[in-house]
Structure 1
């Protein structure tokens, strides 16, 4: 985002925080990516959504986050409708304290799982668009293909082609009724009120109806690739089941339910790793290579062995 637009976004954040008065709080850029720019002023956050965001779909997603029945699950927006900023839709939110990436031992896996289970059990309003998880995976593959020939791309594209059409966003999802987050990772949790309140889910850009297993797929894929310790995956899975989450059976092997989504998230992660390393003209790091190697192993593994593709 240009400096001028960043400045304008900061002005929007200050206006939402103080309704015209002046204060000494600094403006802080929390994120500046192609898919969204976020600026904080005091206890208020302004988010400029990705170019081309559908205003009707965003409004539907904001209404879900603002619904009183989900106050213990989703962070509610400060305003019910977005505003326009140089052609970008902007929404306003209270600031919450994020998960500390420097303290992985304190990662709130149980809280994340419980929040997901609550979300998945909440009634989805009529007219809510599909959750955008598969569409994001498809965009990651498009970024990979735009890189051009790359020695690491072959196993990733092979694993992608083996997925069912719905997981590649080429067909409707088999579940069109379950309320899903669409992009669950620990960066999507904050404490509100800041530092002292309960954990809540944020970022409704991908929220919608679809296959709830997609929301468990990233930690499942990390575990399968050897990037998430087994005890942390077990804590997450047990907490989700204990809270009544419908994405996996209450007992027994969860992997038949998680297989497709876990594979898709592994492919998405690998595709983005290659695209980013190519853009930065650097070799793949150890973690990125591990995910690509997992795609290679996945290609020859039967579905029921998805949780062994790190071996």
Structure 2
């Protein structure tokens, strides 16, 4: 939690209640407000059919406004915001959104891999309009690795040492230390199944949410998290195949329309593996607990990445 969370949460709750019921002089409602997230980088509260999000303290207002404009322009891909410009509350930028029903984490068989891939392909094929900031995927990976480095001495922590070695093996652009290669595409920047909702709830069409990392960059980055999970053995081959096939059938430009996708996916998948492993170790250190099985699998992948030559047949050695 950030230091201002105790004050921010009730203030944000009042804001979203007012946004959900803008009629002046209306009777008090009985809808109730529900906190959906309370993290250092985001506090999110729902009231009735409206959601308010307080963005990370370092969010750039001009860049966020450009990202909101893109979401407004692409309502068939991205959930459109209720307002075009962010408000300010406790020195945090706040945006307002319609409520959408999220993916059910207790029903993995219903995971919307095909809709996610199709929406990504549409996003990547959309010509950018006007100025847009870079996609923030590499910057977020660098931040995660930086937090790990600050939290532990790599010399005394083999797991952290392996993750940091894998990080240094990546090209500069994937470490946010140089320009991204190729023709930039419109990218989401942080794709995972938690970034999809049905709107209108509960069974409307799927839409992508969370524009904080939206921008121009390498479209393969948006496929990198499921690719990394597959390469680490955490995503079944049939689910990866569903996702990749749907993306190709929708004309997504991040990978060739057929043949081996890994030459395009290898570097982003490695970067996402390092980022996720770095976050896992940092959280385990803060909680003073050992890594769990999934977290250890990510670290093991980093060990393989830094100990053998790059292989493009399956992203990295499985």
Distance in 2 separating the partners of 1:306 and 1:81: 45
Alignment of 1:52 with 2:55, yes or no, is no
Moved more, 22-31 or 182-191: 22-31
2:125 is matched with which residue? 121
Aligned mate of 1:32, from 33, 38, 42: 38
2:12 is matched with which residue? 9
Distance in 2 separating the partners of 1:309 and 1:228: 14
Q: Which runs of 5+ in 1 are unaligned?
A: none
Aligned mate of 1:285, from 288, 292, 316: 292
Shift, 1:59, TM fit: 0.2
Alignment of 1:193 with 2:200, yes or no, is yes
1:130 is matched with which residue? 134
Mapping 1:100-179, distance limit 5 Å: 100-149=104-153, 150-175=157-182, 177-179=184-186
8 Å Cα contact 2:265/2:315 also seen in 1: no
- For residues 226-256 of structure 1, the C-alpha deviation after alignment (integer angstroms, 9 at most, x for no partner) is 0000000000000000000000000100000
- For residues 157-190 of structure 1, the C-alpha deviation after alignment (integer angstroms, 9 at most, x for no partner) is 1110000000000011114530000000000000
Aligned mate of 1:63, from 69, 80, 87: 69
How many residue pairs get aligned? The number is 309
Distance in 1 separating the partners of 2:312 and 2:203: 41
Aligned mate of 1:242, from 249, 255, 265: 249
Query: What is the TM-score when the length of structure 1 is the normalising length?
Result: 0.97
CA RMSD of aligned residues (A): 1.1
Alignment of 1:226 with 2:240, yes or no, is no
Mapping 1:200-211, distance limit 5 Å: 200-211=207-218
8 Å Cα contact 1:78/1:92 also seen in 2: yes
Q: Which runs of 5+ in 2 are unaligned?
A: none
Shift, 1:308, TM fit: 6.0
8 Å Cα contact 1:226/1:310 also seen in 2: no
Shift, 1:94, TM fit: 0.2
1:75 is matched with which residue? 79
Query: Matched residue of 2:257: which SS?
Result: coil
Aligned mate of 2:272, from 256, 260, 265: 265
1:97 is matched with which residue? 101
8 Å Cα contact 2:114/2:246 also seen in 1: yes
Query: Matched residue of 2:311: which SS?
Result: helix
8 Å Cα contact 2:263/2:312 also seen in 1: no
Shift, 1:310, TM fit: 5.3
